Structure 1
Amino acid sequence: MQIKQNRLRLKASIDVICLLTSQSCPLRGHNETNNSENQGNYLEFRKVLAAYNKDVSKVIQQAPYNAKYTTPSIQKEILHIISNKVRNYIRQEIGNSKFFIIVDEAQDESKTEQLDHVLRFVYKYETIRERFFFTLIIRVFDTTAATLKRELCSVLARHNLSVENSQGQGYDGSSNMRGEWNGLQALFLSDCPYAYHVHCFAHCLQLALVAASRDVRIIHQFFSNLTFIINFIVSSPKCVDQLQSVKSDEFKRLLSIGEIDSGRGANQMSSLKRAGDTRWGSHLYSIRSLMKIIDATMLVLEHITNDKSCNSSQRGDVDVALDLMISIDFVFIARLMEEILGIANVLCQSLQQKS
């Protein structure tokens, strides 16, 4: 009976962890003591599960001190076991097939470097699959190509994946990844002469568009001004609330006179979007977001100029933003770049599907 209760308690814990991780939710809480009103997602979800099943409620409430399955170490152990099972399943899918290595680096909130590894391979019935395989936590000061290769090969070897079976590599444009002589792709290419490096075509297109725009002075100034206007609005919660209120009133007015139709997914509230040099199509979406609600944005800026609580610095920024938005050059270049980037976006979307 004790073994059966332990298994039910453990199964409830595993199910909660699987649910939270599949939804990308954190497990831990800020205060997990018994007196806490919110003990974190893991403990709170277990309570909800117990509330709908008396057997689960019984085994959780009567759990012995050494078998509660609530400590962080137990949660990490369960996650580790699940991740190993997922990797083993992916390894079975790959079988003896050739595979393509895709690697990218990113920093988390603690500025710790993380190396994400994806395997691309041909599965049954000639279907191409991409599987996220693992993440390496590495020190920022030790991201040399030799270190990255050693760590990647170590993980691949643990799952009986030979580097010689690699048929390609995909990295970003940093020198330690795609360097012709000492980059990671060159080191792998020395072990496997068929593992050619391919830089994502859509990423190359985006970087080429950004570089070309910076070489044209008026285009470079336009994007600088666009970033200034959007950052001024979105960095202020007060401005964002005013923008949403103005846009809502505009929707109500247009609906009352029959200019727009109501319905599911139609005329939804939109917000201003920042552009990023490495995010595909972000410049196009940034321009479209502003031009779509440019009247409401200008009205919000005019309200700020009449707000006596704003300081002189804020009023100065508003005056600059308004002068830019009503200028013919800004509006003309915005429409021109929206047209050009719209054409390039079709190519970008196609490249993402084929790369």
Structure 2
Amino acid sequence: MKACEDLLNQEAHIRNLIEEQNSDEIIKNRLRLKASIDAVRWLTFQACAFRGHDESSKSRNQGNFLELLKLLASYNVEVAKVILKNAPKHAKYTSPQIQKELLSVLAKGVRKHIREEIGDAKFCIIVDEARDESKKEQMSLVLRFVDRVGLIQERFFDVAHVNDTASLTLKEKICDILSRHNLDVSNIRGQGYDGASNMRGQWNGLQSLFMKDCPFAYYVHCFAHRLQLALVSASRDLKPIHRFFDKLTMIINVVTSSTKRHDELQAAQVTENQYMVDIKEIMTGKGANQIGTLNRPGDTRWGSHFRSICSVINMYEATCHVLKKLQKESKSWTTSGDADSSYNYLKEFDFVLILFMMKAIMGITDVLCQALQKQDQDVVNAMDLVRSTKLVIQDLRDDGWDELLSTVTSFCQRHEIEIPDLHDVHSTTRFGRSRLEENQVTIEHYFRVEIFFTTIDKQLQELNSRFSEQSMELLTLSCALTPKNNYKTFKVETICTLVEKYYPMDFTEQEQLLLRYQLQHFIVDARQSSHLKNLSTIQELCSRLVETEKATIYFLIDRLLRLILTLPVSTATTERSFSAMKIIKNKLRNKMNSDFLADSMSVYIEREIAASIDSETIIDAFKAIGTRNASF
């Protein structure tokens, strides 16, 4: 009997040993995989390539992934015991296929997190397309929505290769992406595109195709792009301004077209800064008097022209120095001639006047341009910013001439630029043909009326045309919701009209009637409640309603606020995603396939979400994909 019991105890002991050994093996396997996950995550965050040219054991550089694992092992004994040479040959989990699978699991986790953030909320699609390094056309999809706490979110969701950019092709691809993540097309409440004809065409464009399936997926032309068109149109239609930008581009190209000239420009800045410090015109200190370069203006980014103008003003003397040196020392007649022309432009009074005038005008519009590109910007606040920009430009027209002339005169005196007698009669031979020539106007009148006033009037005309309230009735009606100035513009009738006309599918007839009563109660409550006072944007109002739990009381107002906040302001987020694409898929990685690119971009762009995903969760998801050689 005792022998039988001993035998049974021995079997139990063996079973326990096996279970303990299996448990220990699982811990080691999970640690090994965790090291690979951390390496994949870190390399993707830094947009680094995974593989090396030679990953053999004799290679001095086995590529970023394997070298990073070696680094992790050197700092952690437990990790070193289970990875690379110490891992089973059949379960190292370092192959390129495993790397892609781990990245795919991580990217799916990011998209799952975004899908859970959206929940049942209405959302907006923001779409743009661009070519990657391998000349493939890629379509970027960003989703804009309001989260549970009332904050606007713009999330990069996916990028997909498209064979062509026809509207129908783009729509099919977008619908495919949405359906894979159980996002209903009928829940789209906004569309944002870059303004290209295939995107926004009235009859055949992408917006029209979606409007057929979802009549309330309203298209809003990118505010930043609309502003860009206004500024470009205003500059091209006025000959003096058009000539000015041609001259500006030529000056910058001549000075920055070679590394030698660039070095001379920086050396001239150092000399000038030292002189200014010696005569106590400027102060020294951390971050002060930094050496820069002239910024080239970009054709598709009008804001870059503002930075170009500022750089020429800041480096005026150094630029003149480089051009004078080129005039004398260049052996090329073309270079010498271009330098001579550029130098003469810089020494012209009319060029300097337009230089400072455009700095003043574009400084105002640049503030608007930067604000419109914020991810959490809402259409109501964007409309307010456009209105305030128009007012500031109008103030510049009414009261800015004397200050501009004083600044230009002082600058010309300091840099020995000839200043014409502004009381003389304007001459066509000096400043070009004038439409007021027959009236014998003065030079001052020409610059003030034909240049200063006309330029600003054209800017205002373009802004009024492209941001007219008639063409954006939906956005104009939405302004009635703004809480600014103690709800001064809050109008119950206007808000009810907004719902009846633009959101009948989101509010039943009974809810529309109830909304009116909620609005009447809300405005009294809001003007008395300390929690709802001193708000300036509808996003602040939406998040404050959630915070104070009044969103459950005024649930219809909360619903309407979320619908308005869902409308897009700009396509800046999609454009930023293509900037990320250029970093990830560069010349050295131009054979990257579409799935790997999409996964890399999802993790790289939405890194905060990717960083929050626990490695244990990734291991469990990786395990569920298929049969593995090791137990986890």
SS in 2 for 1:126: coil
For 1:294, which of 309, 316, 341 is the aligned residue? 316
For 1:127, which of 147, 151, 165 is the aligned residue? 151
For 2:307, which of 285, 296, 299 is the aligned residue? 285
Output the CA distance in 2 between the equivalents of 1:252 and 1:134: 51
Structure-2 residue corresponding to 1:339: 360
CA shift for structure 1 position 280: 5.1
Letter in 2 for 1:287: I
SS in 1 for 2:139: strand
Output the CA distance in 2 between the equivalents of 1:280 and 1:179: 24
Letter in 2 for 1:113: E
Asked whether 1:320 is paired with 2:341, we answer yes
CA shift for structure 1 position 73: 2.7
CA contact (8 A) 2:167 2:206 kept: yes
TM-score (norm 2): 0.53
Structure-2 residue corresponding to 1:212: 234
Q: How does 1:95-174 map to 2 (within 5 A)?
A: 95-139=119-163, 142-174=164-196
CA contact (8 A) 1:202 1:280 kept: no
Output the CA distance in 2 between the equivalents of 1:105 and 1:229: 33
CA contact (8 A) 2:51 2:64 kept: yes
Aligned length: 352
Structure-2 residue corresponding to 1:80: 104
CA shift for structure 1 position 256: 3.8
Instruction: Evaluate the alpha carbon distance shift between residue 158 and residue 232 of structure 1 in structure 2; reply closer, same or farther with a 3 A threshold.
Output: same
Output the CA distance in 1 between the equivalents of 2:302 and 2:26: 54
Letter in 1 for 2:105: I
Instruction: Evaluate the alpha carbon distance shift between residue 60 and residue 34 of structure 1 in structure 2; reply closer, same or farther with a 3 A threshold.
Output: closer
Structure-2 residue corresponding to 1:226: 248
Instruction: Evaluate the alpha carbon distance shift between residue 229 and residue 66 of structure 1 in structure 2; reply closer, same or farther with a 3 A threshold.
Output: farther
For 1:348, which of 363, 369, 374 is the aligned residue? 369
Instruction: Evaluate the alpha carbon distance shift between residue 181 and residue 43 of structure 1 in structure 2; reply closer, same or farther with a 3 A threshold.
Output: same
CA shift for structure 1 position 206: 1.2
Instruction: Evaluate the alpha carbon distance shift between residue 271 and residue 9 of structure 1 in structure 2; reply closer, same or farther with a 3 A threshold.
Output: farther
Instruction: Evaluate the alpha carbon distance shift between residue 313 and residue 36 of structure 1 in structure 2; reply closer, same or farther with a 3 A threshold.
Output: farther
Deviations, residues 21-68 of structure 1 (Å, cap 9, x unaligned)? 223334344555555555443333333222222233342232344444
CA shift for structure 1 position 127: 1.1
Letter in 1 for 2:346: M
Q: Name structure 2 gaps, 5 residues minimum.
A: 1-23, 383-568, 570-632
CA shift for structure 1 position 247: 1.6
Output the CA distance in 1 between the equivalents of 2:271 and 2:61: 38
Output the CA distance in 2 between the equivalents of 1:289 and 1:249: 17
CA contact (8 A) 1:210 1:277 kept: no
Bigger drift between 210-219 and 345-354 goes to 345-354
Asked whether 1:7 is paired with 2:5, we answer no
CA contact (8 A) 1:206 1:277 kept: no
Asked whether 1:178 is paired with 2:200, we answer yes
Instruction: Evaluate the alpha carbon distance shift between residue 60 and residue 252 of structure 1 in structure 2; reply closer, same or farther with a 3 A threshold.
Output: farther
CA shift for structure 1 position 152: 0.5
Letter in 1 for 2:238: V
CA contact (8 A) 2:211 2:217 kept: yes
Output the CA distance in 2 between the equivalents of 1:196 and 1:121: 14
Asked whether 1:329 is paired with 2:353, we answer no
Q: Which has the larger radius of gyration?
A: 2
CA shift for structure 1 position 9: 2.7
Output the CA distance in 1 between the equivalents of 2:110 and 2:296: 36
Asked whether 1:27 is paired with 2:50, we answer yes
Output the CA distance in 2 between the equivalents of 1:221 and 1:296: 23
Bigger drift between 31-40 and 236-245 goes to 31-40
TM-score (norm 1): 0.91
SS in 1 for 2:155: strand
Letter in 2 for 1:21: T
Deviations, residues 67-102 of structure 1 (Å, cap 9, x unaligned)? 444443332222211111100000000000000111
Q: Name structure 1 gaps, 5 residues minimum.
A: none
SS in 2 for 1:96: coil
SS in 2 for 1:124: coil
Bigger drift between 183-192 and 344-353 goes to 344-353
Output the CA distance in 2 between the equivalents of 1:188 and 1:289: 44
Over the aligned positions, Cα root-mean-square deviation in angstroms equals: 2.2
Letter in 1 for 2:72: L
CA contact (8 A) 2:162 2:169 kept: no
Asked whether 1:249 is paired with 2:288, we answer no
Instruction: Evaluate the alpha carbon distance shift between residue 332 and residue 25 of structure 1 in structure 2; reply closer, same or farther with a 3 A threshold.
Output: farther
Output the CA distance in 2 between the equivalents of 1:222 and 1:235: 20
Q: Which has the higher contact order (CA 8 A, sep 6+)?
A: 2
SS in 1 for 2:149: helix
Output the CA distance in 2 between the equivalents of 1:8 and 1:252: 58
CA contact (8 A) 1:207 1:277 kept: no
Letter in 1 for 2:132: D
CA contact (8 A) 2:297 2:304 kept: yes
Q: How does 1:11-90 map to 2 (within 5 A)?
A: 11-29=34-52, 32=55, 34=57, 37-58=60-81, 59-90=83-114
CA shift for structure 1 position 297: 1.6
Letter in 2 for 1:48: L
Instruction: Evaluate the alpha carbon distance shift between residue 74 and residue 249 of structure 1 in structure 2; reply closer, same or farther with a 3 A threshold.
Output: farther
SS in 2 for 1:268: coil
SS in 2 for 1:267: coil
CA shift for structure 1 position 204: 0.3
CA shift for structure 1 position 295: 1.1
CA contact (8 A) 1:105 1:113 kept: yes
